[in-house]
Amino acid sequence: MIKSISTCLAMAFVSLLSLNTFAQVLDVDTFEKKIKETPNAYLLDVRTTGEFGGGHLPKAMNIDFRSPDFSAKVAQLSKDKPVLIYCLSGGRSAQAAEQMRAAGFQVTEMKGGYLKWTTRLKPLEGVPDVKHDAAWNLGDFKKEIASSDAVVVDFYAKWCAPCLKMMPIVDKLAEEFKGKVTVLKVEADGNQAIMQAYGIDEIPSFMVFSKGELITKTSGFREEAALKELFTATKK
């Protein structure tokens, strides 16, 4: 009986070690070291193609986790090679990693994602040569959202097609609700501190505040009617 229990405990311990081996989540510096130590690994960026086009880790490959063919594309990868995975801040890559581990891949995640990588001033590739808007100071941003009864924050990027498509509509609504709603625009590039502070892990994203209190948060493309709902969210 004792021998049987010991055997079970030993097996559980081995399983736990195996789980820890295959479910690593590393900080940026350790992740960078892992990239250098495993040159044969897949470096996988699971953000959208638009996000990837705005800059990515050197030699990374892109498979959008939200795309319908994600599983099919992942199935084409060799399970004999380790996978180093990241997204914007860690949410999508965690889901993708879980799915890939279930399929038999050995996956290591980067904690904090691309946002944390850029705040650490790590090397990048594919960054477009565009003029960025002035960055926000986190303290000033908090003061702004606390000073109005209704604030709509538009998190965007100049390389993001859905963002550019919605921009004229946001401007139109800002004029329509002038004096009633304050619109703040936060460009993803250069405002990593704000993105991390408010848990923004996808672009485009919107947040609505009233006197500093978060009313609603959403991400993805929205038609004009859905955008208008954000401008009236504090009145509900």
Q: Which range is least confidently modeled, 20-24, 36-40, 184-188?
A: 20-24
Q: How far apart are CA 171 and CA 224, in angstroms?
A: 11
Band of residue 12 on the pLDDT scale cut at 50, 70, 90: very low
Name the phi and psi angles at 55, rounded to 5: 130, 145
Active site residue 163: yes
For 78-126, what is each residue's pLDDT tens digit?
A: 999 999 999 988 999 999 999 999 999 999 999 989 988 887 778 999 9
227-230, Cβ contacts within 8 angstroms, sequence gap of 24 or more: 227/166, 227/169, 227/170, 227/173, 228/173, 230/152, 230/206
Catalytic residue among 160, 203, 230, 233: 160
CB 91 within 8 Å of CB 201: yes
* CATH number of the structural domain 2-119: 3.40.250.10
The 10 Å CB-count burial string (b at 16+, else e) for 45-79 is: bbbbebbbbbbbbeebebbbbeeeebeeebeebee
For 195-213, what is each residue's pLDDT tens digit?
A: 989 988 888 899 999 999 9
The class level of CATH for 138-235 reads: alpha beta
What are the extents of the domains in the chain? 2-119, 138-235
CB 112 within 8 Å of CB 27: yes
Catalytic residue among 43, 83, 163, 194: 163
Band of residue 131 on the pLDDT scale cut at 50, 70, 90: confident
pTM of the entire predicted model: 0.65
Residue with tokens 């193609």: 49
